[in-house]
Structure 1
Amino acid sequence: MTVVIGHSAATRTRVLTAPSSRSLKFVPFMLVLLDVAVVAAVSGLASFFDNGMPMFDAQAADDLGSRTTGPLVTLGWVVVIALGGGYRKQVLGGGSDEYKRVLNATLAYTGLLALILFVTQADVSRAFFLLLFAFGLPGLLLARWGARNLLHRARIAGHLGLPVLIAGSPEHVDDIHGVLDRTRWLGYRVVGAVTPPGEAGHTVGGVPVIGTTDDVTTAALQSNAQLILFAGGSSHSAQDLQEKVWQLEERGIGVVVAQSATGIIMSDRASFRPVGGLPLMHLGAPAWAQATRVGKRTFDFLGALALLAAFSPLFLFIALRIKLHDGGPVFFQQSRVGRQGVPFRCAKFRTMVPNAEDLLAALHAQTNYDGGLFKMADDPRITKPGRWLRRFSLDELPQLWNVVRGDMSLVGPRPPLPHEVARYDVAARRRLHVRPGMTGLWQVSGRSDLSWEHAIRLDLYYVDHWSMLQDLHILWRTLGVVILGRGAY
């Protein structure tokens, strides 16, 4: 069973009913062919540079690029990726897990191949070996990135979709449907819902109710759904949920269980061990504990210093532009809450009029503000240079100094205001286990377009599922979001 984190947000009233494409089952096969082509290409490229550059002492003419050994190396590499789950449908097209599996499989294959070459005493130059993996790993990751973009475009256009039936209470159905409707690139096409007996018609969010949770299997067969997503309110007990899963599995229907259906956040740190025939779930150390250690801090410190040096001419230009516009201060400093609730002064380039804070109360009354992050699409306090600074997130560049100081991280939850933290419940306070970030899942998932609840849940997901690879993935996605200026105001 796969676990999906549910998010709350306003949903559209229409229901996506695009049928599943028969081509969907060929996606893993196409990725295998793509990886074979990439590995074959980098093998040839490594062989060319090895034999063609005099600095490399290549004595063997029959190296890994030969007719027999080359194909075996290519096949072995792809087999190791497959054994590592790099072609599983569940990891394709979303999240960093797909890249992580390719990375781990490549590192494992590097060690395995080195061992084989040592034992067999194969006459292969070390330069070729290093070039093979120096070209191969980036090539495979870039190929996966390109394939993922094509897959996302196809899904958004209505192709390669998977018909999904959501089971649960109407509120939870709308909650999950809102997420799937916003993230159409995932390929889940909601065809209906099954709710507890007594509900009929449509949910508030517009999802048609086509059956009850007492008979999920019949509703799935009648709607031709290929996957059932169990949300909160879908079952009376754990045993009831298990029996429904068994029935669906017998008919070849996929099953996804949302967090709200179990009440427990399951992640990579969860492992099951049988005790007296009873499978017990053991939780390892939380991911946020790893996110506070030396490796991430070193990466933040060196990365921020490098970016400060690279952007120094841009800093000067922005400072002059702000100063010449109205003569006010260049920087705006605001109290934010950092790791473990420690306050710090967060620096930004000023994008509003100097008396912006004095005008805030009137805007709260005008927009019926009821708490959380305050954002207006056409905030009258924003200056002319401030608009393009905000659009491309250039106003946040001074926070690189906060990263150097250790107040913030390059990637992490959004730095909250003190009055926001005062409203946190027990779950939301988990955001404070790690340093806030200049960017994060909230930045690459909608920025100001996100609801308060959605932003909180994205931050909690980051805290509970942190990895260095995910940080690199978020930084890469941030580049595209900033260049396009999506969701910024």
Structure 2
Amino acid sequence: MNKAQKFGIIRPHSNKLIALIRLLDVIVIGLTLWAILELHAIEWDRKYTWWLLISVVSFGIFAEFNELYRHSRGLSIQAEIKRILISWFWVLIVIICADQAYPLVDPVFRQYFWMWIGMVPVEIVSWHIIISTVAAIIRKNGRNTRRVAIVGATRLGSELKRIFIEDESMGLHFVGFYDDRQKIEDGRGVLAENKLEGNLQQLIKNAKGGNIDIVYITLPLRAEHRIKDLIEQLSDSTVSVYYVPDLFVFDLLRSSLHHIKGIPVISILDTPFYGVDGIIKRVFDILLSLIILIIIAIPFVIISISVRMGSPGAVIFKQRRYGIGGEKIVVWKFRTMTVSEDGDKVKQAKKNDPRVTKLGAFLRRTSLDELPQFINVLQGRMSIVGPRPHAVAHNEWYRGQIKGYMLRHKVKPGITGYAQINGYRGETDTLDKMEGRIEYDLAYIRNWSLWLDVKIIILTIFKGFLGAKAY
């Protein structure tokens, strides 16, 4: 018997219900198309097969990207609806792009195409709502429910308790906290309002008596021996036991669970752009940058000539900054000052800064000085959306002042970012302002999705380019 067989391995949770939901979504897409064609007495054509094939494959891919099927009982129906609509929106984009390359939608039948496009998300959302509603009603009536106990009245345990009580549709009935240590210890995170149902011996007695179905252990990591002893005693009962590691003691950055041949590995500090997500981000950057550079070609030339004629010096200002992985990159901007600082000391632009030219003030205020950075994006040095890059001199100073500052370099710097659309644009003359910017930069990395990039770009267009804070 090898070590894996002796001690066991941790395998991904298998949920056959998820596979059934996937299948039913595919059936809904196909039945909706068939019903529309039947109602209008239209014979099935090869092009409709392509509609169906592209939509099913695309929806499956984008639904996976949006983690539509990776939900537990705790996912709200609002979040589920949002993920369905976003996934189907990208299906529409794929079909429209495919239609440009090879005509799939005849003008005569275009109205039926749009009818199908509009009805499918309504149908999928409707049946998801029905299933969720029926399941919630069943659980609220005491069917398909589980009685759960929490070992350890910690802050993590308190959060679990809140979730169980607030969301009755989960079907998890909280019976109480159990712990041997009843003294309130602030260092251990025990909360006074979490009254104990009993000690661990009482828990074991209740578990063996059939009064508990599930036990969640939320003891701190240092309680290894107590946890092991408790699990051994609970193995003499039929309860399900879950250990909830208190990872919130760490400052998590894009955490996720991985497996290396059955061994669970949890990322604490990571980038969201490994593998497929990295490819998606790069393709999105390239395509959008090419489109934007084509659109701004004439203004780009006009600004270049104006900068050259407005004051002596180079048209493009190049400055060393930190890119992904903390590597130094050269960022391009239209020159807006009479100086080109790129040394160990770089003075930030201030309000009414005498170094800023008249044209430069306009370019900075409207963010037109940033346009050459779309070339940086094509070069692979930057991304359209990401933490704004700082001068190397500023980086070296702030990394010693702000905890986690360098984590913003887990991704490529961006032309615009989450911090900029939330008011942190322009001069950071106080440490508080920079801390606020970094907080939003790290929040972007933690919560990245392609939809978040699209949202930031849209908000940048409406409120991010213009502003009084840009000097």
Who wins on radius of gyration, i.e. which is larger?
A: 2
TM-score normalised according to structure 1 size: 0.46
Of structures 1 and 2, the one scoring higher in RCO (CA 8 A, sep 6+) is 1
